[in-house]
Chains A and B, each alone.
Chain A
Amino acid sequence: MSTFSVVGRRLPKVNAWAHLTGTARYADDIQLPRMLYGRLLRSPHPHARITRIDTSRALAHEGVVAVCTGADMPELMGIMPSTQDETALAVDKVRYVGEPVAAVAAVDEDTAFDALSLIDVEYEPLEPILTIDEALTREDVRIHESSGRPANVFKDVHLEFGDVEGGFASADRVREDWYFFEGTTHAPIETHASVASYDGDGKLTLWTCTQVPHYLHRELEKVLGIARSRIRVIATPNGGAFGGKSDPFAHEFAACWLSMRTKRPVKITLDREEVFYAHRGRHPVLMHLRTGVMDSGEITAVHFQSYLDGGAYASYGIATTYYTGALMTVTYRIPAYKFDGVRVYTNKPPCGPKRGHGTTQPRFAFECHLDKIAEDLGLDPVAYRHRILQPPNSRTVNGLRITSMGLGQCLDEVKRSTGFSEKHGQLPKGRGIGVAGSAYISGAGLPIYWNEMPHSGASVKIDRGGGVTVYCGTAEIGQGSDMVLAVVAAEQLGVLPEDVHVVSGDTALAPVDLGSYSSRVTFMAGNAVHEAAGRLKALIVEAAAAKLGIPADRVALAQRRVFDLADPSRALSFAEAAVLAESKNGTLVSAGSYKPPKGIGGDYKGAGVGPSPAYSYQAAVAEVSVDLETGVVTVDRITNAHDCGRALNPPNVEGQIEGSAYMGYGEAIAEEQVFRGGLHKKPSLLEYKLPTSLDTPDLRAIVVETVDPEGPFGAKEAGEGPLNPVVPAIANAVYDAIGVRFDETPITPAKVLDALQKNKGRVGPEGLGSQTDPKAALRRLTATTDAREKKKVGAR
């Protein structure tokens, strides 16, 4: 029986009532006196030099109050301090259609919109680079001048662990496959919005739907040139984010600059088309996998290559590149592993982190690849995965520390729930079932800028009426982070989540938390609140023990009562106990913080991406029907089991599993962020197909609890991992249904029909492209990397 009074109970979220009554205040809901409305002018060219900008006609327009251009904020910025290559608005050059060039503030939105056409911009168009192939080979066209790498390569990484050559040499068989995962976008229903207000006291407040108020705070200081102590960032409730609101954006800087210039509040809200240009979504990735296996199925070596189409700017791309390789090792035993990752620039909106950041694409490739290996060996795909599981409390060949590991239980659960082994290979033509496993991090082991400070800080205050307030810099993006913090505090203090006020996402009020990315909040902010609330709990226990005349270890807290475990009728109310504790110790405010332990990753260049204090695990089974006449793939059911350590609030966890399955389904079947000559082909919700209620499969969520030794009450992440097994499970199910391997996404009716009509056994890429020999390209990259490293050593 559970000893918890709040953890594990099915309770409404603390912010549910605001959502359900229309009182939640999202960024665009904010109206301030004298507020101006801003709009951004965007580039019509994928690649061009800006030869002249003249804003005078716009400034002279009735109702226009201020205009800014790239020259007003020329400072380089970007989310990753080591690869900053963006400016708030384009300076000298534009690199994708839709790149912001100028911004207008006017008395109303219509006037601001009209004024955009009065800004005169002259461009000198340049040839755009639009494919990975072109980016790797076109030395004559450079999107950025100074990457120090060949052609348009942004970043290349080459890592090798264990005896890779020996592993392949000793293998009974070696399998090689190419894969391609198409780019997709987050498409939160709320479009990005910001309100900036520069007040008479020289202080700037920015309300914005961001996942990373702390990182944005740093970038605002850098770009606007005012001290961070004079800037307050308030992350408003995000109407969905999924990674798409975790970069600093043009509209945020522009709203601030225009407010500072006009001394009036300025609101900028993006329209839906603009959100497709802001993007920072899933990278299109071309991948090659080479795996050596024994006849038993044991893996002897893996060589994985990834080629990421990064779009026009860095964004999180350095981390994304590493992530395509880093987590390959945490699910199954891989004794030798080689990884080559290359990210290129192209003239398209920048790619960045989308739910599953950089791990979704390789997981698709690897789980489809394993399905083929199982088939080659004549093994059941679930049984095969079971046979090669990475054990708990182990270390991977690339140095990652594994603690709790529930992939085996997840596989058991989805197998039992769906009758997988009775159905696989046994269903009539046109119907199929497929399985896949996966893993994800519970927060990145390192912050994006090097420092020794906590990753998450929280403070907790208890008032004299028994109310509890938690302050933490986390951003509530709809994932339920406020509820997670309330549950942790309530469990510690023996109150209910409804007694807890959560003040989150405000850089002026709350201690720093690094933000809602990399599924870090439950683990890291949860631990920070656990520690802060635990300190106040100790004071309350001590005061109650004295009052009740019992030893402290007999005092328990639950249901707003502080009582004697030996005789629960001897009790104080929580509020009475809090008053005693405050009388004895002074004001009841405490702080707690969390930083991942050292030594959870390797010790090599590039070891910073991949380590996490805990990994979540998942397995999914997809059941599909393929219409042989139309090529339409109907996913009938997705059963998705997820090891979240411990479900602090089960509806939250189930909601994350279902939402992840939904999003993975969309990426497998329909969604694609694709371009025609630099123009987005689908920049609207009519064209970019989000699954509706009628499309979405029957989703079954299964919660697996492994109780992580370091998570708050044993909890790990739930927000991203459950997406990862869904895409390969669907591809594997389609193969089971029609005998066609889909080694690329999305699996559209046109592709299915074409494969059926032409009797193709496989749909997918054959290599890098006509212009590129992958081996030569890699050799060239490795050579330049070596030269760069040697130069650095020489310079020392």
Chain B
Amino acid sequence: MNVGKVLVTLRVNGESHTVAAEPHHTLLEVLREEMGLTGTKHGCELGECGACTVLVDGVPVLSCLTLPLELGDAEVTTVEGLASGPELHPLQTAFAEEGAAQCGYCTPGMLLSAKALLDTTPAPSRDQIARAIAGNLCRCTGYTAIYEAVEKAAAVMGAKVP
């Protein structure tokens, strides 16, 4: 049921956006339908699949279980904000090179869970990677190529740090 839209201001990918949205609509719905950021995917809208994962102040959250009104001025990062301008994030490059995205549908959420891991654990073990993405279901890859891509990105990012 619609109760009437309210103005919602969110910081997303470094920019401030004000949109009108139903107050009971989730961050997932507001990102996709009010802001046109359709890179964030939905697979269940019940918090079971992880496809809708975004970062809130660097921490992975399920946008299908998050209300925008709870977020205040927290910084939301979606897949559209992963690259720095024209330069792709090393995770994006590594995922392409290793074939870690097959259908690509779990990929945005997977990338953000992986980014959160690498931001806190620059050289993760395979077990740490498996734990970090345990909430992101992938139905295509069997996860193997994803592990290889995250390890490759970690190596690239580690090499860049002086």
Chain A residues proximal to chain B, CB less than 8 Å: 10, 12-13, 15-26, 28-29, 31, 108, 110-111, 114, 186-191, 237-242, 271-272, 477-480, 651-652, 654-655, 658-659, 661-663, 684-686, 690, 692-694, 696, 699, 701
Q: Is the CB of A21 within 8 A of B140?
A: no
Which of A22, A23, A111, A684 is within 8 Å of B78, CB to CB? A22
B88 contacts A by Cβ under 8 Å = yes
Given the interface pairs A189-B41, A654-B99, the reply to whether A693 lies near B133 with Cβ below 8 Å is: yes
Give Cα distance in the complex from A271 to B28, angstroms.
14
B103 contacts A by Cβ under 8 Å = yes
Give Cα distance in the complex from A237 to B133, angstroms.
24
B contact residues around A12 at 8 Å (CB):
96-97, 99
Q: Is the CB of B141 within 8 A of A20?
A: no
Q: Is the CB of B144 within 8 A of A658?
A: yes
Which of B39, B80, B104, B131 is within 8 Å of A237, CB to CB? B104
Q: Is the CB of B102 within 8 A of A22?
A: no
Given the interface pairs A21-B39, A686-B46, the reply to whether A655 lies near B99 with Cβ below 8 Å is: yes
Which of A111, A190, A477, A690 is within 8 Å of B2, CB to CB? A111
Closest to B32 in A: A29
The 3 tightest CB contacts between A and B, nearest first, are A22-B39, A478-B103, A19-B104
B49 contacts A by Cβ under 8 Å = yes
Give Cα distance in the complex from A556 to B104, angstroms.
36
Q: Is the CB of A658 within 8 A of B43?
A: no
Closest to A640 in B: B142
Tell me how far the C-beta of B116 lies from the nearest C-beta in chain A, rounded to whole angstroms. 15
Chain B contact residue count (CB 8 A cutoff)? 57
B contact residues around A240 at 8 Å (CB):
102-103, 105, 139-140
- Residue of B33, B80, B96, B146 with most chain A CB atoms under a 10 A cut-off: B96
Describe A's contact surface by its main secondary structure: loop
Q: Is the CB of A190 within 8 A of B92?
A: no
Give Cα distance in the complex from A54 to B33, angstroms.
32
Given the interface pairs A20-B88, A659-B141, A684-B44, the reply to whether A238 lies near B99 with Cβ below 8 Å is: no
Which of B39, B99, B111 is within 8 Å of A13, CB to CB? B99
Tell me how far the C-beta of A17 lies from the nearest C-beta in chain B, rounded to whole angstroms. 7
Q: Is the CB of B48 within 8 A of A239?
A: no
Given the interface pairs A22-B108, A658-B144, A692-B137, the reply to whether A190 lies near B130 with Cβ below 8 Å is: no
Give Cα distance in the complex from A187 to B140, angstroms.
10
Closest to A657 in B: B142
Given the interface pairs A21-B39, A31-B36, the reply to whether A651 lies near B98 with Cβ below 8 Å is: yes
Which of A15, A21, A242, A272 is within 8 Å of B45, CB to CB? A272
Q: Is the CB of A189 within 8 A of B80?
A: no
Q: Is the CB of B145 within 8 A of A271?
A: no
Tell me how far the C-beta of A16 lies from the nearest C-beta in chain B, rounded to whole angstroms. 4
Q: Is the CB of B101 within 8 A of A22?
A: no
Given the interface pairs A20-B107, A110-B1, A111-B2, the reply to whether A699 lies near B142 with Cβ below 8 Å is: yes
Which of A186, A241, A658 is within 8 Å of B141, CB to CB? A658
Give Cα distance in the complex from A29 to B37, angstroms.
9
Q: Which residues between 109 and 162 of chain B lie within 8 Å of chain A, taking CB atoms?
A: 111, 129-131, 133-146
Give Cα distance in the complex from A22 to B1, angstroms.
30
Given the interface pairs A189-B41, A693-B130, A694-B134, the reply to whether A655 lies near B102 with Cβ below 8 Å is: yes
Give Cα distance in the complex from A108 to B102, angstroms.
32
Tell me how far the C-beta of B35 lies from the nearest C-beta in chain A, rounded to whole angstroms. 11
Q: Is the CB of B103 within 8 A of A655?
A: no
Tell me how far the C-beta of B110 lies from the nearest C-beta in chain A, rounded to whole angstroms. 10
